Chains A and B, each alone.
Chain A
Amino acid sequence: MVKYSLKRLVYMIPVTIAVVFIVYLIMYLTPGDPVALMLGAEATPELIQETREALGITKPFLTQFTNYVVNLFQGDFGVSWYTGREVAERLFASIPYTLILTFSGMFVALICSIPMGVMAAVKQNTPVDYIVSVLAICGVSAPSFWVGIMLILLLAVEFQLLPSAGIDGWTSYIMPTLTMGFNMLASVTRTQRSSMLEVLRADYIRTAKAKGVSNFNATYKHALRNAIIPAITVAGINFGTLMAGSVAIETVFAIPGVGRLMIDSIKLHDTPTVVGCMVFVALMVSIINLVVDLLYAFIDPRIKAQYIREGGSK
């Protein structure tokens, strides 16, 4: 188990380097001069050239890339080409916002979608099932930034219950969280419903009922435990999408998170900041995938046995 996790953690190193390479290359090919943007219209060509050299932008691509990676593995995210200050400073200041948003969105989605999916499966082909299905298909299809705008219209403009933008106490997180949760709610609900439908028809559920287990216990103790794995997989897979979606949601609600920082930095050609944001997102996605894989082991002893076998054989 530990061996398996370690192997996966080590595997993140080449992935991170590759992500840095891709993003650095894209930013390198981006036309426009970050230094001219930073210094403004009055800067003399000499000053621009001097600053470019001081920041190391004049060096060839591979040198810049290697330097960045070497520094990154020493925990140094480099210096912003726009503000001239440490990238880590701004990045770590915006990470909490994005993390709170993503995890609370995921939490809301999970606690709503699993009961909804179970209900839809238990009451298959009844109005409950239809309502859940329509909600789910709308959730998958509705653009999250539009859902956010509609929530603002309803809760901030019409009823004036919540602040419409910015971060000012915990109430500011309610609407962004709901917006984020709504999107994910849909995909998890659909998966939970279909896997529950499958499990409810399994032989062991019939056996359990024949032995006299109550309907409630058969559904929630025997079936749910087996049917929940695909839902958790989907939640895990969607984590990346959720994080990426925070870009739009942070724009709608004016939240100074990682997504906002990245968009702003892209517009300013601030390569170190953009790469820093991307590395953070890629690492988060890899870690969550690992956590999801480990979660299976706790839910399903068969998978745990498999991990132990794999870890032991190598």
Chain B
Amino acid sequence: MSKANYQDVQKKYKKKSRLSEIWRQFRKNKAAVFGLVVLLIIILAACSADLFWDYQKDACDLNIPERLQKPSAEHILGTDEMGRDILCRLVYGARVSLRVGICAATFALLVGGTLGCIGGYYGGKVDNLIMRVTDVLLSIPGLLLAIAIMSAFKTTEFFLALALGISYISKFTRIVRSSILSVRDEEYIVAARAIGAKDSTIILRHILLNCMAPILVQYALAIGTRILSVSTLSYIGMGIQAPTPDWGNMLSGARTYIRGNSYLVMGPGMALLLTICSFNLIGDGLRDALDPKLKK
């Protein structure tokens, strides 16, 4: 075996073993595995919705003759106040929630992460400016900031994701900045600088890879909280608008009819609870799996 080939194999083996070690730790946490399974089921259901239903006809159009039917063989979760199958709307609602939640969290991670990197690595005046702005944004509760931003935008999925993303940027800025500060003056960073590595290489390859754990955990938790905020905004009428199915606006539509029709609020509520729960469990599981202190 040539030397280059040997290094290649060694590299591959090492990479795999690190990931499999994390997976091994993650698997030990039963609650986290439960969360992962639930999430996969929800994603699978959301992806395969078109096989069973027609989006426009079943999830959006009115069907007054069949309104407010209790759960039966034909409609497993019953029909809502407009006569639409609740299960069908739940599944299409999952698409909206996951899409907006993941996009918002990713946007916040990218923007907040970049700002945190710049502030943490370079320090000085730039850092000071970024942190002051972050302080101000943190003194406005995220949900209220998102509501205010939504008032300036049209209520579409894109703007909803943007508003919920912007309101979470400051959290990521803080986390990324503090993780960078904790390793910035380590010897291996000084060494990398001494051999003339570029700043971008040092930040991306040496620093970020070493403080991935808290950022990843926060990302998983962020998706959960973003989905919660999507539904809250839709519930108070500042998010996804009817007839587009969303768990939040399904609950607000059902609010007037709950007397005698309690099944109306069970489905969307349980869907929200399970989805957010699964992200929280996965986040907790990742935290334990990635924490080097717990490794034996």
Considering the complex, which residues of chain B in the window 221-235 have a beta carbon less than 8 Å from any beta carbon of chain A?
Answer: 224, 228, 231-232, 235
Interface: B148 (CB within 8 A): yes
A148 to B136, CA, bound (A): 31
Q: Of B141, B149, B273, which one neighbours A142 at CB under 8 angstroms?
A: B273
Contacts of A29 in B (CB 8 A): 152
A262 to B145, CA, bound (A): 11
Contacts of A153 in B (CB 8 A): 258, 262, 265
Q: Of A15, A152, A241, A274, which one neighbours B141 at CB under 8 angstroms?
A: A241
Interface of B: prevailing SS: helix
Contact between B148 and A27 (Cβ–Cβ < 8 Å)? yes
User: Can you pick out 24 interface pairs between chain A and chain B where the beta carbons lie within 8 Å of each other?
Assistant: A15-B136, A19-B136, A22-B140, A26-B149, A26-B152, A140-B280, A142-B269, A142-B272, A143-B231, A143-B272, A146-B265, A150-B269, A153-B265, A157-B259, A157-B262, A241-B142, A245-B232, A251-B235, A263-B237, A263-B238, A266-B151, A281-B140, A285-B141, A286-B139
Q: Of B138, B262, B277, which one neighbours A138 at CB under 8 angstroms?
A: B277
A292 to B133, CA, bound (A): 22
Q: Of B149, B151, B251, B277, which one neighbours A137 at CB under 8 angstroms?
A: B277
Interface: B135 (CB within 8 A): yes
Interface: A18 (CB within 8 A): yes
What sequence of 0s and 1s flags, for each residue 129-155 of chain B, a beta carbon within 8 Å of any chain A beta carbon? 000010111111111110111011000
Contact between A149 and B152 (Cβ–Cβ < 8 Å)? no
Contact between B236 and A146 (Cβ–Cβ < 8 Å)? no
Interface: A240 (CB within 8 A): yes
What sequence of 0s and 1s flags, for each residue 270-314 of chain A, a beta carbon within 8 Å of any chain B beta carbon? 000010001001100110000000000000000000000000000
Interface: B255 (CB within 8 A): yes
A282 to B142, CA, bound (A): 11
Contacts of A141 in B (CB 8 A): 224, 228, 272-273, 276-277, 280
A148 to chain B, nearest CB (A): 10
A146 to B247, CA, bound (A): 10
Contacts of B147 in A (CB 8 A): 247, 262-263, 266
B: contact size bracket: 35 or more
Contact between B152 and A27 (Cβ–Cβ < 8 Å)? yes
Interface: B281 (CB within 8 A): yes
A259 to B50, CA, bound (A): 39
Contact between A244 and B142 (Cβ–Cβ < 8 Å)? yes
Contact between B251 and A266 (Cβ–Cβ < 8 Å)? no
A286 to B135, CA, bound (A): 10
Contact between A149 and B236 (Cβ–Cβ < 8 Å)? no
Interface: A88 (CB within 8 A): no
Contacts of B237 in A (CB 8 A): 263, 267
Beyond A262-B147, A282-B140, 14 extra complex contacts between A and B, CB < 8 Å = A19-B136, A19-B139, A22-B140, A137-B277, A137-B280, A137-B281, A142-B273, A145-B235, A146-B272, A149-B258, A241-B141, A251-B236, A262-B144, A282-B139
Considering the complex, which residues of chain A in the window 130-148 have a beta carbon less than 8 Å from any beta carbon of chain B?
Answer: 137-138, 140-146
Interface: A23 (CB within 8 A): yes
Interface centre among B148, B248, B276 (most CB of A within 10 A): B148
Contact between B148 and A274 (Cβ–Cβ < 8 Å)? yes
Contacts of A26 in B (CB 8 A): 148-149, 151-152
Interface: A199 (CB within 8 A): no
A263 to B148, CA, bound (A): 9
A152 to B135, CA, bound (A): 38
A23 to B141, CA, bound (A): 12
Considering the complex, which residues of chain A in the window 109-147 have a beta carbon less than 8 Å from any beta carbon of chain B?
Answer: 137-138, 140-146
Contact between A278 and B236 (Cβ–Cβ < 8 Å)? no
Given contacts A143-B228, A153-B258, A15 and B139 within 8 Å (CB-CB): yes
What sequence of 0s and 1s flags, for each residue 249-270 of chain A, a beta carbon within 8 Å of any chain B beta carbon? 0011000000000110011010
Given contacts A157-B258, A266-B151, A149 and B141 within 8 Å (CB-CB): no
Smallest Cβ-Cβ distance to A157: which chain B residue: B259
Contacts of A22 in B (CB 8 A): 136-137, 140, 145
A253 to B248, CA, bound (A): 16
A244 to B273, CA, bound (A): 19
Considering the complex, which residues of chain A in the window 11-62 have a beta carbon less than 8 Å from any beta carbon of chain B?
Answer: 15, 18-19, 22-23, 26-27, 29-31
A198 to B156, CA, bound (A): 46
Contacts of A240 in B (CB 8 A): 138-139, 141
Contacts of B151 in A (CB 8 A): 26-27, 30, 266-267, 269, 274
Interface: A213 (CB within 8 A): no
What sequence of 0s and 1s flags, for each residue 233-268 of chain B, a beta carbon within 8 Å of any chain A beta carbon? 001111000000000100100010011001001001
Contacts of A247 in B (CB 8 A): 143-144, 147, 232, 236
A252 to B235, CA, bound (A): 9
